[in-house]
Each structure stands twice: as structure tokens, then as C-alpha cells.
Amino acid sequence: MKLDDGIIAEIEARLNGLAAEELEELSLSNRKQERADFAEFEAALKNDRCSLCGNPISHFSIKKPCLHWLLKPKGFKPKHLPVLYATTTFHHMDTFLRWAANSERLFQNINDLVAEKSSDKFIEHSIRFRNLEWAFSCAQSDRQGHASSQHGQNPHFHFQMQIDGRPFIRFNSFHLDFREYDEFCFAVKAGRFKRLRGGHFCGAGMQDLIDRVSPETLIELSTASDDPKNAAFDISTLIVAPAGERLTGDALRKIIETRKKTGRSFASIVRDEHPAVGGTTIISPGEGVAPMRRRSSSRGRQK
């Protein structure tokens, strides 16, 4: 059930009772706690353990649902997903998987790029960790709920899981209802609270990176990858010499040699060593970014 204006107003009234300094202190405290929780999560996962339940990630007991089931311990089957989801929310699932992804490789294991998102989707992103891939999908019609349908009458999302590129849980297998906590998070993201702001921190993906870092900084900080398949970005540069001048072959060779020695991007070297040279640099997702897995609007087939 979506949060109505009355609930929003009640929460706003409580927030208005707090001074700006108190809210700032709470925000800093929450951010500090998230860093500590992620560090504990990351350390445990490197040792193949779950920081939530304390068990190895290989542990599976139908009596003890835990989000590490999504890492496919032996015994976990698609039919167990509703058992797990009965104990959690969309946002807790999403955050757990984002943290797992970022513990292995920052940002590029999470493809939540708006440019790759279907225009009719409320939620659409993919996450990768080791040999596992997960994808979330919620069309605008899913967000409203299918009133005339036997399944999915409430606002819900669909979930896909792949192992070694093979389907394990399919998009059309389940309709997973959003919880009250999810509705609160959606309201925060939609800006319905004047004094609350949401967003990912330790679970940040590619879109967060693009939103928070300027193109100039991305170019400056980027280094060349030995294997394009591991690259987070594809940076292409078209250079144009000033009118009446030309960029000599020797100058180009020097740029290439500097790139090989330093690992800096072609664009950053040209900008620093040949400031008079004009041109255009295009930054796009590299091959190392997790692929976007999409659900069709009809029978859940992956596009």
C-alpha cells in the first residue's frame, strides 16, 4: 500500500520537530554506521561467511531464511524465494546484492544506468557477483498492480537470477509485493519529504558514479585497462587541431607512449599537453559493466 498524504504529513511533522543540527548529526551517524556495516559485510564475504546470520554462505536451512540464500547455497531452489521474501523487503534484497557486487568490484557490477533503462519501467537494473547475476524489474503497470488479474493485484516487482549465465529464477516465476518500508523509500526518492533525501552509498552503482562525478574528473581519474572486457568506461576522443595547424605524427606517438607508461586516458593527456587542441570526448559504459537484463511486457522473456 502506497503512503498516503496523511502518513507523509505525520512523518513530516515529526521531522520538523528536529533542529537542522540534529538531522545532520543523524545523517552523519547513519553514514558512519553504514560504512562499518559494509566493512563487516565485506570482510565476512571474503571468507565466504554471512555477516547477517553468522553462518557460512554455503549454509541453507529452510527454518532460518537469510538473504545469503541469494548467493545460492546448496539446497536453495526457486521455490524457496517466497519463503525468503516473507522475511524481507525489496530494498533489503537490493541493498544486500549491491553490497555483494561492490565488495568484488566497485560500481560496474551494478548496472542501474538510466540511459539503458526501458522508458516504461519504474525499476530496472542488474547486479553481478562472481558467477551470479540478478535483475529487478517493475513496469509502471506492476507498480499499480493488476487489479483484474489473478496474480499481482498489489504493487509488485519481478526478479531474475542466473548462475553461470543460465536461468535459475525467471522473471515470470513470482510476483513479489512491495512492503510498507519499500513505499517509504519510494516516497523519499520521489521527494515527498522536504527534509529527507535518499540514495545509495555503499551500494552505489554506475548511475550514482555518473551523477556524482563530473565528466572531467572521470577522464582525469580513468586509467587504461589491459583488457577491454574489464573496463568500466569506453572513452573515445576525437581531436581537432587549431585552424591552420596540425597535430604531427611525432606528437601522436608521444601521446600514445605517455598513455602506455602512465595508464592515463588519451583524453586527459591531450587536454594537459595540448590545451590548444580541440575535440570531443564521448564517455560510454565499458564492456566491464554488468549487462542490463530486461523483462518483456508479455511473458517475462529476457530481451
Is residue 219 domain-resident?
Answer: no
- Judged by average pLDDT, the poorest of 92-101, 143-152, 223-232, 272-281 is 272-281
What total of structural domains would you count in the chain? 2
The answer to whether position 215 is within a domain reads no
Q: Inform me whether the pLDDT recorded for 301 exceeds 50.
A: no
42-110-94 Cα angle (round to 5): 70
**Segment 18-30 mean pLDDT:** 91
- To which residue does cell 555483494 refer? 100
Q: Is residue 50 part of a domain?
A: yes
Which pTM was predicted? 0.86
Do 237 and 201 lie in a common domain? no
Asked whether residue 296 is assigned to any structural domain, the reply reads no
pLDDT at 243 over 80: no
- pLDDT at residue number 149: 80
Residue of 241 and 109 predicted with greater confidence: 109
Residue 303 in domain: no
For residue 302, pLDDT beyond 70: no
Of the candidates 105, 99, 108, 110, the residue with the CA atom closest to the CA atom of residue 134? 110
The residue type of 46 is: K
pLDDT of residue 278: 66
pLDDT on residue 279: 65
- In terms of domains, do 132 and 197 share one? yes
Average pLDDT over residues 73-89: 98
Q: Which of 135, 133, 115, 116 is nearest to 125 (CA)?
A: 135
| Residue 297 in this model has a pLDDT that exceeds 60 | no
For residue 281, the enclosing domain spans 233-285
Whether residue 149 lies inside any domain: the answer is yes
What's 301's DSSP letter? -
Task: Tell me how far apart the alpha carbons of residues 292 and 112 are, in angstroms, rounded to a whole number.
Answer: 8
Q: Output the CA angle 227-229-231, nearest 5 degrees.
A: 80
What does the pLDDT look like over 163-204, one tens digit per residue? Answer: 999 999 999 999 999 999 999 999 999 999 988 888 899 999
Q: Per the domain annotation, does 291 fall within a domain?
A: no
- Are 242 and 157 found together in one domain? no
